[in-house]
Chain A
């Protein structure tokens, strides 16, 4: 497909808002273009821009009928689905502010954010969200109503403050008949500097903070990103990552409306990978864990494959890695390597890319956390144009990006247009752009700490290399001082180890300690298969994690990694944790970043065990389930040394 026609860039004025741009697009495309698709009952159901426009209009006016006024907050929770996007757009159309919650948030988090954000309406999917709403509504006096769209399981609910989306649309229609033109009127009142999103960041240390983002912030971010990588209205994008993650807002809302590409919603979260394959998106942005999972899937299939298939894969990957290496180092690729590469594409890469849903991919990004160099190499060996995005919620998601043909897997790229990035004398990364947020909602002190003279202070340590690429070392407070005084980024160790299919999560310890140690969370499915294939019996994760053979398996992986490390940074001891790190236990943020300070406190017995002369550590703790149940756990874990 060619894109000879240069995409017309929008002009961002003081009056431009997301709804205004959206309305323009809806008028332009009408019923001629599919705005979104949702897989429902096994079939991809298209929704045209005309329908999209109608639904949003009805919901927006319905929200007005329910009492929503300008600057009122609308909290949204639930899986990605068209109704969620309609509700967000509807709220913005009437001058409301969208607040997103993670679908799997525990009740305390939901309550905190709803209460802190002063949300008036809550939009949920169905029964699960309705239960959460009913639990908190008495404690959040500003919250008036909840809107829901999935009738499944809702038959027994008769609380009058629960309103179905159908009813909201009916109210909207009524209001439209009474006051025709009101909807367009409300949209036209919007200004670029109005707040459109109140975005709660997943604090690795403290309570979530609500970042205030304006229409101007969101639109300039999208514009500047697309100045680097243009997207086209013929593109497909699959929306399946939480809307409470800024990256998904960036693609679905900001870029989606500017470029007019088609959004696709998977049938269920469990079917996302399969649905991505069916769609074959052109653009994709996901946190590293999604790519890590893809690599793991391939590695596991490889382990199970027949001899001939394994050999074909090994050969094709060898060629792929070589060519990718030449490209990384910007050396010309000789024609015979090109020929070999093409053959391996035909034989292996093509099929593999198809299975991963990457056969039509043009631009794919990772961001939100660090990704290991091995993962990066893997995708480039397959010919997938994977690039790093760096940014914070506070800068609408993106400030730095790799450029095509200038990709270095140890950097995050160079700033996007209209963006400046500097390093403070202390080594902190700071940035400035039109997309920098207004401040934190109701937290002036935090705002003053983060925003100084228009410069956004990231809390990350890094430097700019000779070619102008930004290198992110780690979160400043996470940087370790090793026994010989060198600074070391724990995430480097962690991301390296995560390339092993057997390892899901890693926590590296070693700050001001005599040596480096790690805590491993094995991958239950992969290690479980490995064990079954060897007739090793186990009944649960805790049991499997403590089996001696599994310890040896993990030990081998660590020895492999240790070889590439300077002696002082090599891992000396490790423990297989009896459970996986879980956001429900506060060990990870909702975007799956390790909350170091928290795990250090929680697992201090393990840390002590790793730095004393014992062969087992005892653990006595509670596990919280998603529905709030707490289970008490007592267990012993072995400490294993790694031969140096």
Chain B
């Protein structure tokens, strides 16, 4: 998707502290509609905290978050989901005992209009609605993420790499305007990394989806390859903001990374 100039997500001066630990200290940035926007930084820089603030799991002590031009700082997570903010988790948060399909269906729950009684009886409009949603899941998600062979498998029995895909599938079922991806590539082998990078590009570029992606990731090869813009965090502060080449050249970023065990962050390619 062509990156537009329209600001979709605006994060302003976020402060987040846990007791005496300052996780975020005045972080501000803007994500434009249609971007793949990456947040990088050493471990403990505050990346996941930032995602948690955006989707409402944490309430920052200071600062504001605006989505599609409206302030969402005081909304509950599910209200933010209703507005079109969806996410995946670094440590998978799937229902391990349920099937892949049921997990994805749960992501679709927000769009179900039928009441409790008609759902229990399952007739007429409710049945039609259910079929429509299943159709969406099959056409737009299962086909896209190539998980046809496991739709009826129990999630807990699947290898990790495939569980990651299910996590993404569930986030997509929400039909989000923006998707927050927390380390989607962590723990994947080379082939799975390539698949996942391809899926992220598909979600961003395919005409059907054209979804803005906010990516927290350590795999610099992929980040620099697919992102439109990158910001770097270090100890809760934004130290760089720009295109991938700009951020790579930024002396603060180099310093932040060189202070760390270097090989942890080198690309796998």
Contact = CB atoms under 8 A, between A and B. Distances in A.
A276 to B, nearest CB: 13
* Band of interface residues on B: 10 to 19
A41 B135 CA distance: 8
Interface stretch (B113-121, B200-208, B235-243): B200-208
Given A42-B148, A267-B148, A270-B149, A155 B198 contact: no
A274 B138 CA distance: 17
A42 B151 contact: yes
A548 B107 CA distance: 47
Interface in A293-349: none
Contacts of A152: 143-144, 202
Interface string A597-617: 000000000000000000000
B148 A271 contact: yes
B263 to A, nearest CB: 19
Interface in A177-193: none
A160 interface: no
Contact of B139 (A41, A155, A270, A274): A41
A43 B206 CA distance: 24
Q: Which of A41, A43, A153, A270 has the most CB of B within 10 A?
A: A41
A268 B148 contact: yes
Interface in B128-167: 134-135, 138-139, 142-144, 146, 148-149, 151
B132 to A, nearest CB: 13
Interface in A45-79: none
Interface in A269-288: 270-271, 274
B149 A271 contact: yes
B202 A153 contact: yes
Given A41-B135, A41-B138, A270 B198 contact: no
A270 B205 contact: no
Interface string A148-175: 0000110110000000000000000000
B142 A41 contact: yes
Contacts of B207: 155
Interface in A4-61: 41-43
Interface string A502-540: 000000000000000000000000000000000000000
Interface string B195-221: 000100010011100000000000000
Contacts of B146: 268
A270 B206 CA distance: 24
Contacts of B142: 41-42
A42 B152 CA distance: 11
A155 B148 contact: no
A155 B149 CA distance: 25
Nearest to B138: A41
B49 to A, nearest CB: 33
Contacts of B135: 41
Contacts, number: 30
Contacts of B151: 42
Contact of B138 (A42, A268, A270, A271): A42
A268 B148 CA distance: 7
B130 to A, nearest CB: 14
B145 to A, nearest CB: 11
B101 to A, nearest CB: 9
Nearest to B146: A268
A270 B139 CA distance: 18
Contacts of A268: 146, 148-149
Given A41-B135, A42-B138, A155-B207, A270 B148 contact: yes
Nearest to A270: B149
A234 B139 CA distance: 31
B193 to A, nearest CB: 13
Contacts of B143: 41, 152
Nearest to A629: B190
Contacts of B138: 41-43
Contacts of A42: 134, 138, 142, 148, 151
Given A41-B142, A155-B207, A274 B149 contact: yes
Nearest to B143: A41
B88 to A, nearest CB: 22
Nearest to A39: B148
Nearest to B144: A152
Contacts of A155: 205-207
Contacts of A271: 148-149
A152 B207 CA distance: 11
Given A41-B142, A41-B143, A42-B138, A153 B198 contact: yes
A333 B148 CA distance: 45
A356 B205 CA distance: 41
A270 B147 CA distance: 9
A41 B202 CA distance: 18
Residue of B139, B144, B148 with most chain A CB atoms under a 10 A cut-off? B148
Contacts of B144: 152
A153 B204 CA distance: 12
Nearest to A272: B149
A452 B146 CA distance: 50
Contacts of B198: 153
Interface in A218-269: 267-268
Nearest to A271: B149
Contacts of B202: 152-153
B153 to A, nearest CB: 10
A334 B128 CA distance: 57
B138 to A, nearest CB: 4
Contacts of A274: 149
B199 to A, nearest CB: 11
A268 B149 CA distance: 7
B105 to A, nearest CB: 13
A381 B171 CA distance: 48
A318 to B, nearest CB: 32
B40 to A, nearest CB: 26
Contacts of B205: 155-156
Interface in A125-166: 152-153, 155-156
A42 B105 CA distance: 15
A455 to B, nearest CB: 46
Interchain residue pairs A-B with the least CB separation, the first 4: A270-B149, A41-B138, A271-B149, A42-B138
13 contacts: A41-B135, A41-B138, A41-B139, A41-B143, A42-B151, A152-B144, A152-B202, A153-B198, A155-B205, A267-B148, A268-B149, A270-B148, A271-B149
Given A152-B202, A270-B148, 8 more contacts: A41-B135, A41-B139, A41-B143, A43-B138, A153-B198, A153-B202, A155-B205, A271-B148
Interface of B: 134-135, 138-139, 142-144, 146, 148-149, 151, 198, 202, 205-207
